[in-house]
C-alpha cells in the first residue's frame, strides 16, 4: 500500500523521502536476549526546505529535539500512524545534491533518541538518559496542513430509496485538499458487491479513483454479494 511520510520538527511539516530505524538485543547461544533492547538510531532522508535550518542542532553537542513522524495511508479514511522520538541528538547531518533525477537536493539525518513511542503501541522505549516524557509535554502544536483529507462518502440513486441489488447508483466521495489525487477507497459492504466500468470491484476496494474536487461522483452498479 502506498503511503506518505512527514517529519514534524520545529513546528514545521517536512516531506520524508525515506526513513528507517531499528532496535537491537544481544542474545546468548540459545537465542535468549541477555540485555534490554537498545535503540540503534533513526535515519531520515528529507526534502530540503529554505525555512528549515538544522545547523544549530548539528553543531551543538547537547541540544535535543522532540520529533514526530506521521505516516499517511494512500487509501482515504485509513488510519495515520504516528511515531514519537524524544530527546533526539543529530549525530550526523549530510547535505546531498544531484544534477539528475527529480529530487536534486536532499538532507540525510542520523539521529539518536532516548525515547521512542508509536501511536499503535501501549509500551514505549526509554534509555537511561531520557528526560522528556509525554505527561510532561505541553499541548501539541497544531500545524496548518494542506494534506488531503477524507471527509466521508455515501451512495445516491435516482429513486432516493434504499440501495438494492441491480441498481445504478452514484458513489459520492467528499474530500478536502485532494483535487488531482488518485486514491483507493474501501466500500466495505457485507450485503452487496459493486461493478465499476462493468467490472466487479474486488474485495470492495475501488482503486484508481481520480479526485476532481471537494465532491467526486463515481457511477457504480450494485450486484448481490458473490461467493
Give CA–CA dist 35/78, Å, rounded: 37
For the stretch 31-89, pLDDT in tens is: 888 888 899 999 999 999 889 989 999 998 889 999 999 998 866 667 889 999 999 99
Give CA–CA dist 7/111, Å, rounded: 13
Give CA–CA dist 171/174, Å, rounded: 10
Residue 173's pLDDT is 86
For the stretch 100-152, pLDDT in tens is: 877 789 999 999 999 999 988 888 999 999 999 876 554 555 555 667 777 78
CATH of domain 4-126: 2.30.110.20
Output the pTM of the full model. 0.60
More confident call, 190 vs 66: 66
Q: Report the percent of the chain where pLDDT is more than 90.
A: 37
Strands (DSSP E) found in the chain: 3-9, 12-24, 38-47, 65-73, 81-97, 105-112, 115-118, 124-126, 149-156, 168-176, 182-186, 192-196, 199-200, 205-210, 215-224
Residue 29's pLDDT is 85
More confident call, 2 vs 124: 124
Residue 181's pLDDT is 82
Give CA–CA dist 212/219, Å, rounded: 14
| Cell numbers representing residue 153 in the block | 462518502
30-to-26, 27, 107, 140 alpha-carbon distances in Å:
11, 7, 41, 45
> Considering only CA atoms, which of 217, 173, 226 is closest in space to residue 199?
226
Residues of the chain with CATH 2.30.110.20: 4-126
Amino acid at each position: 500500500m502506498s503511503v506518505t511520510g512527514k517529519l514534524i520538527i520545529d513546528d514545521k511539516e517536512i516531506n520524508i523521502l525515506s526513513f528507517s530505524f531499528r532496535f537491537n538485543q544481544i542474545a546468548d547461544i540459545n537465542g535468549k536476549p541477555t540485555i534490554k533492547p537498545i535503540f540503534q538510531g533513526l535515519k531520515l532522508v528529507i526534502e530540503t526546505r529554505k525555512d528549515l535550518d538544522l545547523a544549530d542542532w548539528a553543531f551543538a553537542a547537547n541540544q535535543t529535539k522532540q520529533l514526530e513522524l506521521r505516516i499517511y495511508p494512500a487509501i482515504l479514511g485509513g488510519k495515520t500512524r504516528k511515531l514519537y522520538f524524544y530527546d533526539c541528538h543529530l549525530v550526523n547531518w549530510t547535505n546531498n545534491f544531484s544534477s539528475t533525477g527529480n529530487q536534486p537536493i536532499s538532507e540525510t539525518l542520523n539521529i539518536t533518541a532516548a525515547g521512542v513511542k508509536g501511536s499503535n503501541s501501549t509500551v514505549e522505549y526509554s534509555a537511561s538518559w531520557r528526560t522528556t516524557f509525554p505527561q510532561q509535554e505541553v499541548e501539541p502544536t497544531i500545524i496548518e496542513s494542506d494534506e488531503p483529507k477524507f471527509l466521508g462518502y455515501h451512495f445516491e440513486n435516482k429513486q432516493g430509496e434504499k440501495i438494492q441489488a441491480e441498481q445504478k447508483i452514484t458513489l459520492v466521495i467528499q474530500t478536502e485538499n485532494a483535487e488531482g489525487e488518485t486514491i483507493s477507497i474501501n466500500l466495505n459492504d457485507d450485503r452487496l458487491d459493486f461493478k465499476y466500468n462493468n467490472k466487479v470491484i474486488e474485495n470492495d476496494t475501488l482503486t484508481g479513483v481520480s479526485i476532481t474536487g471537494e465532491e467526486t461522483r463515481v457511477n457504480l452498479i450494485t450486484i448481490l454479494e458473490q461467493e
